[in-house]
Structure 1
Amino acid sequence: MSTAAIHAGWRADDMHGALTPPVYASTAYAHEDHASLKDLFARRSSGYAYSRSGNPTTAVLEQRMAALEGGTGAIAVASGQAATTIALCALLAPGSHVVASQLLYGGTTEFLGDTLADLGVTCTVVDPWDLGAWERAITPATRAVLVESIANPGAQLVDLPAISALAHARDVPVVVDATLAGPALHRPGEHGADVVVHSATKHLCGHGTTLGGVIVDTGSFDPRRCPDRWPRLTTPNARFGVTFADEYDRGGSGLLAYARSKYVTDFGAALPAASAQQILVGIETLDLRMRKISADAAALAGRLHGSEGVVRVDHPTIPGRPDAHLAERDFPRGTGGVFSIDLAGSEEAAAAFCDALELFTLAVNIGDARSLVCHPATTTHCHLSETQRRACGVGPGTVRLSIGLEDLEDLSADLERGLAAARAVTGPLAGADPVVAVRG
């Protein structure tokens, strides 16, 4: 993985021998004659015409991500939210249905319940650990199953092979948001996923400098198995003059080609070349960063567990977590750097905790080299109903932590400073029994 993170997609073969992919800062690309440009727009040849639909720097990122995820291809887009939106729009149509885990990033939950509803798509939300609920929720209209490999903010894991088996038995593709794990820790395609999406803004970039998203086709989805379910892929497309599913025999399902041709172009969700280059640089150190971040997050979660004023620590290593066996089976390299804690004293304690921290930065990003903290109920999940927030594992006392690359002991001391401030607000309180408090 670490070798592909440095070399995949680029061989220093430009005219100057640049070791890192250069930024092709061009909106359009010159062609030698009328015929070559005509063939490109007619999809009879490959190449670049306009950077809204493709760019040489972005193409390197796409090739690298496909290699890292073991996929047949990838599309790089403007943000993680754009990646989720485009992947689902390419699979869904008015009147169709999606089944989603209740443990999702707040922005994804809003998209499913609001924007997709406006487009005539229904959604059923289920407990990710209840396999019976998954099976019961899938209907003849279901066109996608959506889960996060590691949930935000509580770091819950899902039994992806089991969920994928249930979905595939009903010819439903599985879409996995792998942002919190990244290919350094977990490759969803090896566990049954058909489509993988990332917010490249997070661990892939790793330095809080750049927005980006990636969609990867793992190669397992073949729309021709049920052509009536995917007519936009399996029948001739009047607009583009091709049948996208015909690309399956050339190493892709046609899903990415359709998504790029229609949704990336129509939505204008192109990733700038400079952003692609920043993400490529970040990916080069992904393996090393994720090893340290995962180890330090687990250590800090263990120290916080049972601390005075801490009602619950949501991390897969905490005793009593029903997904502990999944961490051992599917995540031997660690479960990332994002987890949450619940403080006694509700929002008042959470505010005091956040305000007292000196090393952790109060910000709503995750996956940065810097350690970050936020209060999800009033930020990332604030537009959800209380019932939706509770289903996502977010309460008034929940604080999300994103562990960075600082020294472990410095981070631990800063968290103790925050806990002391929270206790000063709530008074002396003993942490609740963590085994009882854990959800599930």
Structure 2
Amino acid sequence: MTIEARAPKVFSGWNQGRGEASLADVHRTVKVSGNVWRRAAAFVGPGYLVAVGYMDPGNWATSLAGGSKFGYALLTVALVSNIMAIVLQSLCARLAIASGRDLAQACRDAFPRPVAWVLWAMAELAIIATDIAEVVGTAIGLNLIFGIPLEIGVLITALDVFLILYLQRVGFRWVEALVVALLAVIAACFIVQIAMADPVWGDVIRGFAPTTEIVTNPEMLYLALGILGATVMPHNLYLHSGIVQTRDYGNSIPEKKEALKFATIDSTVALMFALCINAAILILAAATFHAAGQTNVAELGEVHSLLAPMLGLAIAPTLFGIALLCCGINSTVTATLAGQIVMEGFLNIQLAPWLRRLITRAIAIIPAAAVTIYFGESGTAQLLILTQVVLSLQLSFAVFPLVMFTADKTKMGALVAPIWLIAIAVFIAVVIAALNVKLLYDFVL
């Protein structure tokens, strides 16, 4: 029986069939069976792939810049951004499980072709911006630990295509296992570094309280939007709606409702982990650099060189470099998967898996490599922060369609989002759009 024949029912609200299943070579390959605990465990994984995008090297740059310049004040932005992410990612899982479509396929099916092509171009631009951050971060990590020049490090990042191909051949769970293992290394590195920095925990707690200065101070708003763009990332919305369909959860309504519950728990727990990492990066910068009067530290290489004299231990910069490298590897893996989902979903192409991944990777890494090689080590912080602001500006082009689809009963059937959830999602979408308008207004003036 073909994948299409096993596909969930196509609701009348869609204009056309979805085409080939999302990530067809691993579609419905993870079995969901056994007692409730085994079924719940089968859904653990996609959330952590999504969480990787919430702690990528671009996020490091914005968090380090925010922590060194404004202390703990922007912790509230990290918290609010994470809450937004939890809501939006739960909608992605709902869309995928209810309709059998990822977000890219849904846009292609629901909108006229010109609109879908514009959204595809925006999604590709977001993935290119994402990849620039990942390529830069991985290359810097290789440079800090092994002394490999940035130009060579950029080329090494292209090898993730072959890593993904190999791991998916032995099973998608191996991709998830790699990501979770690297996340554990990142967490261990930051636990040690935070213990060394010994922040003032009272100030940390107060940093989670909102302040109007974030909106009134253009420089703080720029960094806040950078954190927002680095936290709630457009490519993650496409990614989650694709990889959740690797689970063979069945097609009946009760099975789909259970799948939605487990998928939401998975993504929520993973995103809370991502919040801890993001907060740790900002707290490290605030406790070391801001406290010492170093308010303009944002270059990842500069952070690496300053940690040892400030914390008094030679191991501190090594831990930072290891965490950065693990983060970069994880991010390039997930960005490549997101690029494949976007290209396949919007364009409905059918190519061999290795060729699809090579093309989607090339679309992103060629401009990323060109920009990285041109800028070199100097200016990487400004470049990373700029990519995150670009992502923030692209976010509405993914969020508004997602909210529209999940609120439409003709498209979602019995799994249509409840009114209270849609109200929260609409509020989030409007806030993101309003902040972006404010950023553009300040930039023009």
Flag whether TM exceeds 0.5 (same fold).
no
Would you tell me which structure has more strand in proportion to its own residues?
1
Q: Which has the larger radius of gyration?
A: 1
TM-score by length of 1: 0.27
TM-score, normalised relative to structure 2: 0.27
Q: Greater helix share, 1 or 2?
A: 2
Report 1 or 2 for greater relative contact order, CA contacts < 8 Å, sequence distance ≥ 6.
2
